[in-house]
Chain A
Amino acid sequence: MTGNPSQGRAAQPTAMLEWREEGLYCPPAGLYIDPIRKVARAVITHAHSDHARKGHGHYACHHDSVPLLRHRLGKKIRVEGFEYGQGFTENGVKLSFHPSGHMTGAAMVRLEYRGEAWVVTGDFKTMDDGLNVPWAPVRCHGLVMESTFALPIYRWRPQAEVAAEMAAWQRLNRSRGMLSVVSAYPLGKAQRLMHLLAGSGIGTALHPVIAEATAAVRSTGVGLPEAMVLHQQSNPEDLLDRVLLLPAMARDHAWLARLGPVSSAAASGWARIRAMRSRQGADAAFVLSDHADWDGLNLAVEACGAEKVVVAHGYEAPFAAWLHARGLECWTEAELMHGEGHHTNTETINPEGGLE
């Protein structure tokens, strides 16, 4: 029915990449990309916790990810940053970083060895969020890509419309004397919301954890609007005109209740689906994601010209089958790591609630 993507296909997509227990490995260069276990040399696509982990001997990433990695992993890590389009050559492997549009400092990693080029997307979005350097396609023979929202039911609307909806929600809350609270991942999503809301003339108030992450993002030189920092003595009157950004775990904190009646919202790609939306337990849900939607994922495959695709991180199997039906040679990361049909979860569970 779906056609078996494994038919007439090599066991390994390329000799220049290996899927190991530690993570994605480039044997000629001797380094890992977003490794899961502790390794000597790691290339990091972006600063989210499921991609950038503690304990590696050396980190290489985009320039703007450097302060973010330091913020998350500590000042002492050994890290080197590169501009977009730049990189280094290691034992014949030419490695470079390219904008993925996912968050500040997020990069796709291009590896070229003996005339063969592969791109590892990490997380990416094709929509320009107006805050970060936007995604642009990078030509390659093979693509290792995420598939977080790789079903055609996931389609995003222009972000200005989402911003207008959020602004209307905030105004309604204010007219009722209710505080507007949005739960957001402190790094990435929170700054995107700050920027988006500022465009609708709405300020934000940040939970201390988000304020710290925001300070780290600011230090990269990204232009972010001013924001207030929330604390226990915050005057509820001052907060009514703003949207409060809280890490998901902090949403139920008692001191928040003391500030007065609250309307809570989630902003995530999962909000597209009714069943997921109700699971988020918020009063309102906005469809806003830093990942590519169905159209974005397909665009990314087409625009890079790859003939081989390895699908990771999400709806791997259906998306691989879809691309296979379009004439591409496809693997899922799970089958490369563990052999055919054996799926093992290698993601840690994100303590923030892990929505993005």
Chain B
Amino acid sequence: MKAFSRLVYQLEACKGDDRLQPLEDYFRAAPPRDFSHALAILAGYPPHRLLSLARLQEEMLGTTAFPLWLLETCREYTGDLTEALSLLLPEPMVPSAYSLSHCLVLMESLRDASPARQSLELLHLWSKLEGESRFVFNRLLTGTFRLRPGHLLLARAVQAIRGVDTAHSMLRLSERWNPFTLGVEELFTADLQPQDHPRPFNFHMVFPLKVALDTLGRPSAWLASPRPHGERVQLLTSGGRAALWSETGELLGHRYPEIIAAATALPDQSIFEGHILQLCEGGGDMDPGTAAVPSRTRGRSGSHSCLLISDLLQLHGQDLRSEPLTYRLEMLVLTMQALPGLREMALAELLPLTSWDALASLAGRTTGRPRGGAFLKEAAGVYDQPGARPWMVVEAEPLRSRLILRYVALGPRGPGGLEELSLGAASPSGFVTVCKLKPSLPAAELHDLMAVIKASATERFGPVRVMPPEQVFEIEYQGVKSSARHKSGLVLLEPSLLRWCRGESADQADSMNDLRRSAQG
């Protein structure tokens, strides 16, 4: 368990290809049983939860006899209830030797056990695990383990350790398996028929727009659409089955079963390109660019995924990629019209441009969601064929706001010893933190800001200083997204620090209401 929890911490600490090394290190050293379990967990198939978070809380408070308010204080500082709960117990006197599979076998064995027996066994296990291992195990226990480094990265690590071809292991990883019955030896030798899974086409290239718009000729030779903030995919239908491929060559079907199920209504032997969106109930908080707002929306969790289709690359086995975009779109519209209304599929709007100004306003449009900019596609363009022009992304003009400094985190890595600024806005119930930013300010200003922090911070918690609501900063961001997970109820998209508005009074800063309004544009 310790080795796996260390891997989890390492993966959380880095991004992208930096994650490959820790994965390889882990898989190289892991016993075969742990290998299969770890791979399944990281591929997106963790075991089903045994306890609810409420039950975990009951157990931990029961055994420690800590009052609820103390737990709540701890949770405030960890920012995570599972973490706070897991760290409440004393550390074991000797390091534990329990493996990942030992812990998972125990967890499985308790599925049908009485609550009393579950408590007994789990308390024993918890008392033997170090805090970090206990935390990772409790995530698995309560079904709150969410780390997904991506199938491609896992496949590359597997290739490095076991020499299994990445394409082959990508297939293996695309479907849930049972690591209790399938060890790592059987996992990759088991019969898999790659021909069952037709491969996607190469994705058409997308570049940011680098040249002036008027060098592109007549606006009417181009089509434009708001750029959706979602994963770009191709959906393939074949013999009653469907496959969803990401641009990085990952099969995503297991993550979006509702889209796969809905794809049975699409014509066979066809390939669609689009983006995956998460739509909220009621359609009020839609991503931009959907022509068809799903009417009847009922999902379990209040949101559902939807494929926003923007291109048709193959229809009934016929390759359309060398046809002009306008023709492909015509075929796409006809195809979609023939379908029953599906909430999992929507048609992206692609608008003929009358002027370049129209493009700018499209790129900056804020239909309550990200200002993602716009795609610009040549109306007569072919798809990934020799001589094809890439699609271009036009960035939106950023939004600006003035926010109040609430907390600062001091640390060695940040410029001038300042690691992070937490900025907030006023709401009727007090100040609410809205975003955290690196203090990218000129050295002289950093120095002055540090002096202000020294002089006026009201409280300290480790490296964190609490500031009185006095200092105003101007920031730039790409949009606002509502979010139930954040205390402020919203997330600023791609925020960055513009300047410190020294001497400006705090009542010139934007309130939560102002921010919410900017979201509506």
Q: Using a CB–CB distance below 8 Å, which chain A residues touch chain B?
A: 1-2, 148, 151-158, 161, 172, 183, 248-249, 251-252, 270, 272-281, 283, 295, 314-315, 318, 321-322, 325, 343-345, 347-355
Contacts and interface: CB of A to CB of B under 8 A. Distances in A.
Contact of A274 (B80, B453, B457): B80
Interface stretch (B337-345, B461-469, B495-503): B461-469
B79 interface: yes
A154 B130 CA distance: 12
B463 A355 contact: yes
A279 to B, nearest CB: 6
A127 to B, nearest CB: 12
Interface string B360-386: 000000000000000000000000000
A353 B91 contact: no
A315 B461 contact: yes
Contacts of B453: 349
A1 B69 contact: yes
Nearest to B408: A349
20 contacts: A2-B67, A152-B70, A153-B83, A155-B90, A155-B131, A248-B411, A274-B80, A276-B462, A276-B463, A279-B420, A283-B14, A322-B70, A343-B458, A345-B459, A345-B466, A349-B450, A349-B457, A349-B465, A353-B412, A355-B463
Contact of B130 (A157, A273, A325): A157
B13 interface: yes
A348 B419 CA distance: 17
B88 interface: yes
A256 to B, nearest CB: 13
Nearest to B64: A152
Nearest to A154: B87
Given A151-B74, A278-B12, A2 B69 contact: yes
A353 B411 contact: yes
Nearest to A249: B412
B66 interface: yes
Contact of A155 (B80, B87, B457): B87
Contacts of A154: 87
A137 to B, nearest CB: 20
Contacts of A321: 69
A151 B90 contact: no
A155 B67 CA distance: 18
Nearest to B130: A157
Interface in B406-420: 409-413, 417, 419-420
Given A276-B463, A345-B465, 18 more contacts: A151-B73, A152-B64, A153-B74, A154-B87, A156-B91, A157-B91, A252-B413, A270-B463, A278-B13, A279-B463, A280-B412, A321-B69, A345-B459, A345-B466, A349-B417, A349-B450, A353-B463, A355-B411
Residue of B66, B74, B79, B88 with most partner-chain A CB within 10 A = B74
A279 B409 contact: yes
A172 B84 CA distance: 31
A346 B204 CA distance: 60
B295 interface: no
B126 to A, nearest CB: 13
Contacts of A318: 69-70, 73
A273 B77 contact: yes
A278 B465 CA distance: 17
Contacts of A354: 410, 463
B412 A351 contact: no
Chain B interface extent, by class: 35 or more
Residue of A183, A272, A274 with most partner-chain B CB within 10 A = A274
A151 B75 CA distance: 10
A348 B64 CA distance: 36
B457 A345 contact: yes
Contacts of B316: none
Contacts of A156: 91
A2 B72 CA distance: 11
Interface in B385-417: 409-413, 417
A351 B411 CA distance: 9
A272 B411 contact: no
B462 A270 contact: yes
Residue of B69, B409, B454 with most partner-chain A CB within 10 A = B69
A152 B88 contact: yes
Given A152-B88, A157-B130, A345-B459, A274 B73 contact: no
B12 A274 contact: yes
A249 to B, nearest CB: 6
Given A152-B64, A152-B66, A274-B12, A279 B78 contact: no
B408 to A, nearest CB: 9
A349 B463 CA distance: 9
B460 interface: yes
Interface string B52-96: 000000000000101111100110011110011001111101010
B95 A161 contact: yes
Contacts of B95: 157, 161
Contacts of A281: 411-413, 419
Contacts of A314: 461
B411 A152 contact: no
A300 B70 CA distance: 20
A248 B412 contact: yes
A355 B78 contact: no
A313 to B, nearest CB: 9
Q: Which 9 pairs between the two chains have the least Cβ-Cβ distance?
A: A248-B412, A281-B413, A153-B87, A353-B412, A345-B457, A318-B73, A157-B91, A153-B74, A2-B69
A259 B64 CA distance: 49
B67 A280 contact: no
A335 to B, nearest CB: 13
A283 B130 CA distance: 20
Contacts of A274: 9, 12, 78-80, 83
B16 to A, nearest CB: 15
A318 B77 CA distance: 12
A161 to B, nearest CB: 6
Contact of A355 (B12, B73, B74, B462): B462
Contacts of B131: 155, 272
Nearest to A156: B91
Contacts of B84: 153
A65 to B, nearest CB: 24
A158 B77 CA distance: 24
A1 B67 CA distance: 9
Nearest to A293: B91
A108 B94 CA distance: 31
Contacts of A248: 411-412
Contacts of A322: 70
A345 B460 contact: yes
Contacts of A315: 73, 461
Contact of A275 (B78, B88, B465): B78
B70 A280 contact: no
Contacts of B90: 155, 295
B508 to A, nearest CB: 26
Nearest to A321: B69
B60 to A, nearest CB: 10
B462 to A, nearest CB: 5
A217 to B, nearest CB: 22
A295 B93 CA distance: 13
A338 to B, nearest CB: 10
A183 B413 CA distance: 11
B412 A349 contact: no
Nearest to A168: B6
B191 to A, nearest CB: 37
B495 to A, nearest CB: 18
Contact of B412 (A152, A157, A251): A251
Contacts of B68: 1
A70 to B, nearest CB: 26
